[in-house]
Chain A
Amino acid sequence: MRSGSRYGLLALGAALVIAYPWLAPNTYLLYAGVLTVMYAVLATSWNLLGGFTGYVSLGHSAFFGLGAYGTGLLVTKADWPWIPALLVSALVVAVFAGLVGVAAVRVRGASFVIVSIALVSMMNLLVQGWRSLTGGSTGLRVPTPFRELNRGESHLVFFYLFLVLLVLALLTWWVISRSRFGSGLKAIREDEDKAESLGVPTTAFKVVAYGLSALFVALAGGLYALWFRSLDPIFVFSILVGSYMVLMSLLGGVRHLFGPLLGALIVAPAGEYFLVALGESQIHLTATGVLLVLVVMFMPEGIIPAVAKLVRRFRPPEASIREETAEQRSKEAVA
């Protein structure tokens, strides 16, 4: 795609997203919009680790839940204003993730996936078990910071707050992808041993990526607590939320800035549709599983690379550069 039309498409998409709350015909669709943008933040944040390094974490909801409970507890128990509560809890979660990361990123592949699942399960048990602080399985009620607003207006405010966070996560991904740090992370994804042999500090880079990814996920968790006002440990620490982050990223394309966002734009509304159309049945989970299998089987690189490949097929082929020997080159130079 030419860069002019690419920027045009980007501007059109951005304008549509910004205008969405005003175009949404009812409060429910506005609510679904907030949920979709929140998932877009989560998937883009997950991709800061998964997309760059290839380390697949199914347990990123641990950081979502910790961010949510951290913010909720600071607001309810310590009477902190919501902004410092949100920022401090996210920073603490990022540091915690860094510490966990030092041990977690020592293992690769399936072992790392299992470690990530163990982490979210442990956090779930911890929060449910610590009833005196967290309310246990009955959950935690968090007061809204915008008491003067009605439900619809509150959705509108949180839509834009999540949107700001999404832009920050996308900018972070974009900056990293063009940096020396990003090159090191991508080299880890392709061949960690080779990257290390070239002088890339692989462990340090993975830990930083893990912490940075957790920071954005925790910020989304904190905003979720303030928006939703009620925290259920079963939901915020569920592996399903973590799986959604992976599915959305894989569906859109983990190597691309907008891949996870595109995946969220498809999966989140689809999930809501199944929930509304089919009620409280678990069919939406089946649909999610089927979608994941289809993506892995037929579009392992995601939608964006698949479409790009399709576009390339209709383009005239690139002029190939012939190989030549030094002898040929020197003969041509003399001629």
Chain B
Amino acid sequence: MASETVLELREIEAGYGRAALVLRGLSVTVRQGEVVCLVGPNGAGKSTVLKVASGLLAPRSGTVQLSGADVTGRTPQALLGLGLAHVLQGHSVFREMTVEENIRLGGYTVRDPAVLRKRVAAVKEIFPVVGERWTSIAGLLSGGQQKQVEFARALMLEPKVVLLDEPSMGLDPKTTQTVFDQIDLMRQTGVAVLLVEQNARRALEMADVGCVLDLGRVHISGPARDLAADSRLGALYLGGAAAREAGEQSPAAGQADVR
């Protein structure tokens, strides 16, 4: 049975100020318990997709749907309340605060102490390092540990979908592996993940669906493991022209929807 569609971006056109469009008719669908990975060269518009989805950037046209409801143009706070969490690029923990304070801030809008306790216990189970370093100052943790604290904080409101922007940025290969494992654990809890990652091959090996972006559109899409082995992926990273040439030869290329 097909999983429920959690997040759907349809025919999105978006850009910054009066500058040219960054996204040109992009569509992406993310289903429950699924990791969708967006890869592509610099400037392809990967992070812009996440900004539109999380309400940080209003699209010029197109719609954003969360669990079937149109949420286009809603604020990040409103979307957070509706079950969409965004983990920003780089380290976004509150560095001078303890791990405990960081995690509790994730559930700041939860008033019921019993619910809060339950959620804290749940994230400690998924991310053991959170419990182990509960009283530590977050800024003193390693890069990988800080990333896990960010993931745990994002899960405190039990989101339906988590947007992850370059979670492996600045991390060594071993720590990157840990971070990808934690994303896998999030997926196992039923959370949908929309992932933007420069470490394309490694991310596609872990994701369910891959979308290769170029010039603001989904250029190639399909099962992530197949994409990881696709020679066009390398061509796209080596040069846009080569990729476009390769894309023109593929009947699947240029189709906006993931499926």
Question: Which parts of B96-128 form the interface with A (CB within 8 Å)?
Answer: 96-97, 101, 104-106, 108-109, 128
* Contacting pair B129 A194 (CB below 8 A): no
Interface contact B178-A323, CB-CB below 8 Å: yes
- CB of A295 to closest CB in B, whole Å: 18
What are some 18 contacts across the A-B interface (CB < 8 A)? A180-B108, A183-B101, A186-B94, A187-B94, A187-B105, A190-B96, A190-B97, A197-B76, A197-B80, A198-B108, A198-B153, A199-B80, A199-B109, A255-B96, A323-B144, A323-B174, A325-B177, A325-B181
Query: How near does chain B come to A6, taking the closest CB pair, in angstroms?
Result: 16
- Determine whether the beta carbon of A186 is less than 8 Å from that of B108: no
Q: Provide the bound-state CA to CA distance between A230 and B142, in Å.
A: 57
**CB of B185 closer than 8 Å to a CB of A:** yes
How far is A184 from B105 in the complex, measured between Cα atoms in Å?
A: 8
| B5 in contact (CB, < 8 A) | no
Within 8 A of B (CB), among A171-212: 180, 183-184, 186-187, 189-191, 194-200
Least CB separation from B126: chain A residue? A326
Interchain CB contact (< 8 A) of B105 among A195, A255, A326, A329: A195
A76 and B106 CA atoms in complex are apart in Å by 52
| In the complex, chain B residues 55-96 whose Cβ is within 8 Å of any chain A Cβ | 76-77, 80-81, 86, 88, 92, 94-96
- B29 proximal to A (CB < 8 A): no
User: Are A325 and B133 neighbours in the complex by a CB distance under 8 Å?
Assistant: no
State A329–B182 Cα separation when bound (angstroms): 12
CA gap between A326 and B182 in the complex, in Å: 7
CA of A199 to CA of B182, assembled, Å = 25
- A residues in contact (CB < 8 Å) with B: 180, 183-184, 186-187, 189-191, 194-200, 255, 321, 323-327, 329
Report the bound CA distance from A63 to B184 in whole Å. 55
Smallest distance from the beta carbon of A305 to chain B beta carbons, Å?
10
**Chain B: how many interface residues by the 8 Å CB criterion?**
33
Complex Cα spacing A321 to B148, Å: 14
Known A-B contacts A323-B129, A327-B181; A183 and B92 likewise in contact (beta carbons under 8 Å): no
Tell me, in angstroms, the Cα distance from A325 to B106 when the chains sit together. Answer: 24
Judge whether B145 is part of the interface by a CB distance below 8 angstroms: yes
Q: Is the CB of B96 within 8 A of A198?
A: no
Q: State the 10 A-B residue pairs at the shortest beta-carbon distance, nearest first.
A: A199-B109, A326-B181, A190-B94, A199-B108, A325-B181, A197-B76, A321-B132, A198-B108, A183-B101, A323-B178
- Asked if A324 contacts B178 (CB within 8 A), the reply is yes
Among residues of B, the one whose C-beta sits closest to the C-beta of A189 is B96
B94 contacts A191, CB within 8 Å? yes
Minimum CB distance partner of B92 in chain A: A194
Q: Tell me which residues across on chain A come within 8 A of B198, comparing CB atoms.
A: none
